[in-house]
Amino acid sequence: MPLAEYRAADATTLAGWVAQGAVSPAELLNAALAEAEAAAHLGAICQMLPHLAEAALPGVDRAAPFAGVPLLVKDLGGALAGAPTWAGSRHLRDTAQPAAQGGAVVGRLRAAGMVPFGKTTVPEFGLNFSTEPAIGPLCRNPWDSTRSAGGSSGGAAAAVAAGIVPVAHATDAGGSIRLPAAWCGLVGLKPSRGAVPQGPDFSTLLGGLATEFIVSRSVRDSARALQVLARPPVDGPYLPPLPDGYDADGLDRPPPPQRIALLTTAPDGAPPGPAWAAAAESAARVLQAAGHAVEPADPRPLSGICTTARRAFSTFACRNLAAVLDVLSPAPDGLEPLNWAVAQRGATLLPRDFVAQEVAQARMAHDFAVLQRRWGILLTPTASGPPPKLGVLRTDGSDAMGHFAALARLAPYAALANATGCPAIAVPHGLDASGLPLSVQLLGPPGSEAILLGLARTLEQAAPWPILAGA
């Protein structure tokens, strides 16, 4: 098939072509492989696995929601059967064996017709907002190859923005879906805690902060993916994120009027870049014109709440990595220095530290729920500024807490959704003076995905974004 048509189509369109017999799953795979080769300089893919895809082609159900759509799986989080997980780590690259069993989310995407053919690059163990693992490849932003594509789902976002695939598997424990989506001009939904199955072992990561989903080019692809993934799992609690009878094709029916609180500064009062604040204000005007009640909000009530949320991320990240390394037993020089420092800090944490964190997190979630009842949906800039140049977010130092503080400054409202279990979505909204994507975040109460997707669709219709980088 013509590559230009492939690059311009979202996953829903591609699946429709397959259902109609206009193209075959094999043709879509060949197009994806050609695009991957053409965009190899971006470093979005760390493992090419075409043999797995070719073996899956005969089993594709042409009536499936994503029939024949090529998929890239993040090399961290949900496993892909038949492929090892390197997690950006030299030690795992040298020792990991192919997974005998795939993760629940990847399994459901495959059952919906998607065809995985590779794994996307991540920063080592996912603990950076830039995807520059020491083992390579260095992941570049398709909009400006001197800049970061974000992290930890940077490879996923770069691959979708570059047109290699229309959607890619991603994970988010502190903004790792939303920030790469924002910097690459994509839709990035982080579902409610418990809405998407996380078995057989992913749900134990990072104290429940982490969840799996996708990054996409269109709101309807994210809505359709949620329909595919949000079914009662066999491995844990389930919070239905979509109302009975929800139809992703009905996104053009606007959601009922919402109360929306506009926040254009960080909880500590630090202003984002002017273009990012202006994007949030522009999105507020669009939503207000669509019948929603938008009011500016004072961010100060969120100061302590966001501090607790960030502390939850750093606490669980440090202890989780320490526990992982207890099992892996890598040599100190087999790990990037920053992550060695993170693990060393985690090893010093005591059980009472976790009890105190859990108590503080529960109180924080209650306080935020009270605030949400007054404010409704939160509308913020997704990031505080454009993607940094490659090499800025370094991992060759030992200041773990300084590193986490730097990440918080880049996305001051990101960890809030993870710590509270709330859904949040990053939505493209314009370009800055340099031609780089701008993005806004919508954050709602648990189970409000349908409302967030409806609001995102309103923004998509009012201010369509370029589907391809640089378009």
Beta strands in 18-166 (DSSP E): 45-48, 70-74, 115-120, 140-141, 144-148
Catalytic-residue membership of 152: yes
Can you read off the two tokens belonging to residue 142? 């398709």
The whole-angstrom separation of Cα 191 and Cα 449 is 7
Catalytic residue among 74, 153, 218, 448: 74
24 is catalytic: no
Rounded to the nearest 10 degrees, what angle do helices 11-20 and 219-229 cross at? 70
Instruction: Report, in this order, helix, strand and coil percent for the chain, each rounded to 5.
Output: 45, 15, 40
176 given a catalytic annotation: yes
What is the distance between the alpha carbons of residues 267 and 80, in angstroms, rounded to a whole number? 38
Whole-Å CA distances, 295 to 80, 276, 284, 378: 44, 18, 9, 10
Rounded CA-CA distance 422/453 in Å is: 14
What CA–CA distance (Å, rounded) separates 321 from 345? 10
Q: List the beta strands (DSSP E) in 201-327.
A: 211-216, 259-262, 293-296
Catalytic-role residue among 176, 203, 314, 439? 176
Sheet strands (E) in 382-436 = 424-431
For the chain, the first-to-last Cα distance in angstroms comes to 21
Q: Tell me which H or E stretch contains 359.
A: helix 351-375
Q: Which of 89, 152, 153, 384 is catalytic?
A: 152
Catalytic residues: 74, 152, 176
